Amino acid sequence: MNAGIIGIGRYLPEKVLTNFDLEKMMDTSDEWIRTRTGIEERRIASDDMNTSDMGYLAALKAIEHAGISAQDIDLILVATVTPDRPFPSVACMLQERLGAAKAAALDISAACAGFIYGMVTAKQFIETGAYKYILVVGVEKLSKILNWQDRNTAVLFGDGAGAVVMGPVSEGRGILSFELGADGTGGKHLYQDEYVIMNGREVFKFAVRQMGESCINVLEKAGLTKKDVDFLIPHQANIRIVEAARQRLELPEDKMSTTIRKYGNTSAASIPISIVEEYEAGKIKDDDLIIMVGFGGGLTWGAVALRWGR
Ligand SMILES: CC(C)(COP(=O)(O)OP(=O)(O)OC[C@H]1O[C@@H](n2cnc3c(N)ncnc32)[C@H](O)[C@@H]1OP(=O)(O)O)[C@@H](O)C(=O)NCCC(=O)NCCS
């Protein structure tokens, strides 16, 4: 049994915070942010919209798109580092609001690699036949853990949610191979105390190296080569980091998602948000080979090679 994506959905808060808005809040400039990160604007959730609210709205769309009902869901996995509270998990909150009465539910904490960790976890249950339909959500309200006085971090991140329903798909489709990894010795470079603390240069070096390597590794594991790749969906951390991954795969510019321009780094949400963006733009079609790759605090990383379609 192959496990693949059978439904997708996302939610982005309406409020747009541009680089020019940030210029008025701290000592930064649109020029600096655009040239160093690629970000032009990001979305910020309102005070009455928490992580679970955004996750719920994205999940509703994914379930509808999959053509199943919430009662069919066997497991809910929510990748987030900004849960509403330590417990109950966001996954349990979604279980109640969706009415997914039979679903088991848990949150996954793997920072910006969390959505890949979630998809790979879902794959195991589906391929063994233990579960049929699994909702995997990546959602963050990073704005609540940012120090808005710290230009090193505040300009980088945004809020949002993306969700997929995973289930059995036809032969040859779905997740063909994966890689997950962690290096706890690098945890000191990116963590939350009260706010997000980051050593940007160290994370940058790690990310450039790891993203490229993970892409190549999942291709090799699937018995494929760079030439087979149709589209790359990297975690949207910095345009220069994702460009390095694209060049490693020797892909043309239009074969990679760059939603970072509009949404900034939405951590665990960035890959599923990008999936919806690219699918709706007609960039992802049945039987396309998609590489998704992420990295983040932990340090963590993960990648999948996925053949699109049910
Ligand atoms: C953060 C990052 C954009 C910084 O870019 P960079 O080109 O490495 O910039 P540097 O670290 O060399 O900093 C250059 C200068 O810009 C300053 N600077 C930092 N943020 C700034 C901002 N928002 N506006 C203006 N100047 C800023 C720094 O203080 C530094 O000044 P100094 O040289 O006087 O100390 C980059 O390192 C990065 O993207 N790292 C990875 C971060 C990441 O992906 N995090 C999420 C992981 S999931």
Model pLDDT for residues 64-103, shown as the tens digit of each residue: 999 999 999 999 999 999 999 999 999 999 999 999 999 9
> Which amino acids are annotated catalytic?
112, 235, 265
Of the three residues 141, 169, 197, the one that is the final residue of a domain is 169
CATH of the domain at 90: 3.40.47.10
124 and 227, same domain (yes or no): no
DSSP annotation of 157: B
Mean pLDDT calculated for residue range 138-155: 97
Domain that holds residue 15: 2-169
Question: Is 24's C-beta closer than 6 angstroms to any atom of ligand 1?
Answer: no
Count structural domains, the chain.
Answer: 2
In a mutational test of the pocket of ligand 1, which residue from 27, 28, 204 has the highest number of ligand atoms less than 8 Å from its CB?
204
150 and 180, same domain (yes or no): no
165 and 213, same domain (yes or no): no
Of the three residues 142, 169, 196, the one that is the final residue of a domain is 169
263 and 137, same domain (yes or no): no
11 and 158, same domain (yes or no): yes
Question: Is 34's C-beta closer than 6 angstroms to any atom of ligand 1?
Answer: no
262 and 125, same domain (yes or no): no
Q: Given this model, what pLDDT does residue 1 score?
A: 85
Dist. CA 62 → ligand 1 center (Å): 35
Distances (CA, A) of 79 to 66, 117, 170: 20, 8, 26
Confidence band of 59 (pLDDT split at 50, 70, 90):
very high
Question: Is 240's C-beta closer than 6 angstroms to any atom of ligand 1?
Answer: no
Mean pLDDT calculated for residue range 98-113: 98
Rg from Cα positions in the chain: 18
Mean pLDDT calculated for residue range 130-141: 98
Of the three residues 169, 197, 215, the one that is the final residue of a domain is 169
Question: Is 309's C-beta closer than 6 angstroms to any atom of ligand 1?
Answer: no
Task: Look at ligand 1, atom 44, and give the residue with the nearest C-alpha.
Answer: 237
178 and 275, same domain (yes or no): yes
Compute the distance between CA of residue 270 and CA of residue 268 in angstroms, rounded to an integer. 6
What share of the chain in percent tops pLDDT 90?
100
Phi, psi of 15 (to 5 degrees): -70, 120
> In what side-by-side order are the strands of the sheet with 174-182?
174-182, 300-307, 289-296, 231-234
Dist. CA 256 → ligand 1 center (Å): 24
84 and 153, same domain (yes or no): yes
Question: Is 200's C-beta closer than 6 angstroms to any atom of ligand 1?
Answer: yes
DSSP string over 44-61: ---TT--HHHHHHHHHHH
List the structure tokens of 139: 């959602």
pLDDT of residue 186 exceeding 90, the answer is: yes
99 and 190, same domain (yes or no): no
Dist. CA 161 → ligand 1 center (Å): 25
Q: For 215-272, write each residue's pLDDT tens digit.
A: 999 999 999 999 999 999 999 999 999 999 999 999 999 999 999 999 999 999 999 9
127 and 41, same domain (yes or no): yes
Mean pLDDT calculated for residue range 123-138: 98
Average confidence score pLDDT of the chain: 97
Closest by CA to 79, choosing from 40, 99, 51, 37, is 51
134 and 8, same domain (yes or no): yes
103 and 130, same domain (yes or no): yes
Dist. CA 52 → ligand 1 center (Å): 31
Mean pLDDT calculated for residue range 281-303: 97
